Amino acid sequence: MWLIVGLGNPGTEYADTYHNVGFRVVEHLAYRWGGRIRIACGPALISNPVMVGGAAGQEAVLVLPQTFMNLSGSVLPKLFDRFETNSERLLTVYDDIALPLGRLRIRQKGSAGGHNGVKSLISSCGSDAFLRVRVGILPERPIERLHDFVLSTVAKRDRELMSHSEVSAADAVEALLREGPEKAMATFNRLDLRESKEE
């Protein structure tokens, strides 16, 4: 059983922010795979197990932590126990301010890179070896206060590219589970959605 965890902050006031792109990607996967993220499991909302699109025999549970971002890892122990799994079957999706908007990065392990949600996951797992899909959110224009920016509503000028990024991130999750990390990284780590926008 795969656990696919979208990182974000709960509450309608955060739903359309840059920091909640992980939530939106997982919600898109729920729509795509016919799941509903409504079941309480500790400090998280989860779906019933769903079949991963295009990945024969692969099942996943979609997870939205209901803690705030810096406590995201607290949802994992109960999930690992309930589904008899561990961090080797964990895949997380989250925003990355170090990547330009329109770029994705798939990684199999690594540091938190300053992301408090990922830092919490690593602390809870006791390992940084879990799959992640990082979704770039850095716009081409200058930003002033980083904290204020990530918690701001996605700007109108960024919405189209953000929407395409979220769909591509969902595609990347499917590719990871269908084809494995190496093939998925070869496809999505070089993808630049800004180029298609310019065309």
The rounded distance, in Å, linking the Cα atoms of 92 and 89 is: 10
Query: In this structure, are residues 128 and 110 in contact, taking their beta carbons and an 8 Å threshold?
Result: yes
Q: Which among 19, 115, 147, 164 is annotated as catalytic?
A: 19
Which residues touch 70 (CB under 8 Å, ≥6 apart)?
A: 116, 117, 119, 120
Query: In this structure, are residues 23 and 92 in contact, taking their beta carbons and an 8 Å threshold?
Result: no
Round the CA-based radius of gyration of the chain to a whole number and report it.
16
The residue assigned the tokens 């990390």 is 181
Q: Is 177 helix (H, G, I), strand (E, B) or coil?
A: helix
The rounded distance, in Å, linking the Cα atoms of 22 and 25 is: 5
DSSP state of 151: T
Residue 71 — left, alpha, or beta (φ > 0 → left; ψ -120 to 50 → alpha)? alpha
The verdict on whether 147 is a catalytic residue reads no
Q: Could you tell me the two tokens for 115?
A: 């992301």
Residues with catalytic roles? 19
